[in-house]
A = this chain, B = another copy of it.
Amino acid sequence: MKNEKLLQQIDFIREIDKIKYIQRKTKLFNSDRRENDAEHSWHLAMMAMVLHEHSDDPVDLLKVIKMVLIHDIVEIDAGDTFIYDQHKNHDNTDEEMKGAERIFGLLPEAQAKEMMELWKEFEAGHSNEAKFAKSMDRLEPLLQNVSNNGGTWKEFGVKYQAVYNKKKVIEQGSNSLWEYAEELLDKSVERGILKK
């Protein structure tokens, strides 16, 4: 093969297959089966596609979709950290940074740089696209836990205030989605599947 660049791209495509083995704590809708990172990322991309009109600020949809598609690739090396884990910081660990450098680094230089910047921008959460992408990332497991009668909230004894604090990130991307999310949280308390 003369095309060295293509071979680098294929190596990356092979490597990221491993994301399909990274299990999240949250389970599929109405299900006992835990979701993996590939399924989760696909679902967030679909949500961005369907919900982007609810973003408070204008967003470049392609950029949002790219962000959610790649945001968990670092977990191939760093593993998934449960968002309510008391002992380990969920975001921006050294392991994640090393994972990003190794995995995105398989790509040709310009693409590696683009991926790294997209991932860092998502993690920082400042741009319109990052804020909206993070809204999607917080909304999906909320919908799943509601459909699973409390899901991981019940399984791990997570209380209303802790959930509320994490979910409030949705507000930074979309007021209308946050309003909807708050209603779901209130109804979950009423139903007894989320404890105050």
Contacts and interface: CB of A to CB of B under 8 A. Distances in A.
A115 to B, nearest CB: 9
A116 to B, nearest CB: 14
Of listed A16, A70, A107, A111, residue having the most chain B CB within 10 A:
A16
Contact of A36 (B17, B39, B61, B69): B39
A8 to B, nearest CB: 10
Nearest to A10: B143
A46 B42 CA distance: 10
Interface string A131-164: 0000000000001000100000000000000000
A124 interface: no
Nearest to A36: B39
Interface stretch (A47-55, A77-85, A88-96, A165-173): A47-55
Interface in A4-36: 6, 9-10, 12-14, 16-17, 19-20, 28-29, 35-36
Given A29-B14, A54-B6, A143-B14, A66 B49 contact: yes
Contact of A69 (B13, B42, B183): B42
B176 A6 contact: yes
Contacts of A177: 6
A195 interface: no
A163 B148 CA distance: 42
Interface of A: 1, 3, 6, 9-10, 12-14, 16-17, 19-20, 28-29, 35-36, 38-39, 41-43, 45-47, 49-51, 54, 61-62, 65-66, 69-70, 107, 111, 143, 147, 176-177, 180, 183
